[in-house]
Amino acid sequence: MRTAYGEGVTAIDEALPLFPTDSMEFSLQDLRDARDKIQRIILEYTFGLREIETKISILRDEFLQMHDYNPIEHVSSRVKTPDSIIEKITRKNIARDVASIREHITDIAGVRVTCSFVRDAYRLFDLLTAQDDLSVRLVKDYIAKPKPNGYKSLHVIMDVPVYLSSGKLIVPVEVQFRTIAMDFWASLEHKIYYKYSGQVPGTLLTDLKLAADTAAHLDAHMERLHHELHEPDAGAPPAR
């Protein structure tokens, strides 16, 4: 039997647990089967990631070749490792079957688009989500409503069609849009949390929030300068 899940993969397979649930003892074959299922998941999400990367690459090339200004500074991507997937399954108490993993873990594949200015992040978000072969599952606008620690970014979970030899597979991919200043702050914050294993001293948390506010002021100031340079008679850009 073949379905849109992939060659030889059935809906029954999707509902089967990664490990047997009636015993705490796993055979070598159980471990091999679990490894194969996780590797299949990672491969499918890698395909979805490539689809999004191609779409962004086309937009970037168009801006470079046909427009005066390219809003995309750089693009990075990643697919979670098997260890990271298993850790999240355990931490979130997610049922250990493929169907549950697909439903509850939506950031296995992720793309980050770093832009020059805030309005570029929204513009690229609009351009990507307008493509009719993609479906928006969830949007979290941490630019308009930052997290309490100061984190800013525009997140969207998109359902991406991937065409395999056995048919169409829908894969969720998380895309993040942020400015250079937001990206720099987030990178530093991640390193600090890693160094302190999540137990960051209060003084550092306060300093991080102040740094986030400074980054936001820098974004606004640089965007205003950019706007005045390219549109000297247009006044300040409208707030999003």
Q: Are 107 and 174 in contact (CB under 8 A)?
A: yes
Write out the two tokens for 163: 């065409």
Contact 188, 211 (CB under 8 A): yes
Going by C-alpha positions, the residue among 72, 92, 94, 77 that lies closest to residue 17 is 94
Active site residue 87: no
Around Cβ 180, how many Cβ atoms within 10 Å? 17
CA dist 147 to 154, 207, 212, Å? 11, 15, 10
Whether 109 contacts 79, CB under 8 Å? yes
Active-site entry in 44, 174, 189, 223: 174
Q: Other C-beta atoms within 10 Å of 94: how many?
A: 15
Q: Is 166 exposed, middle or buried (0-12, 13-18, 19+ CB in 10 A)?
A: middle
Active site residues per annotation:
174
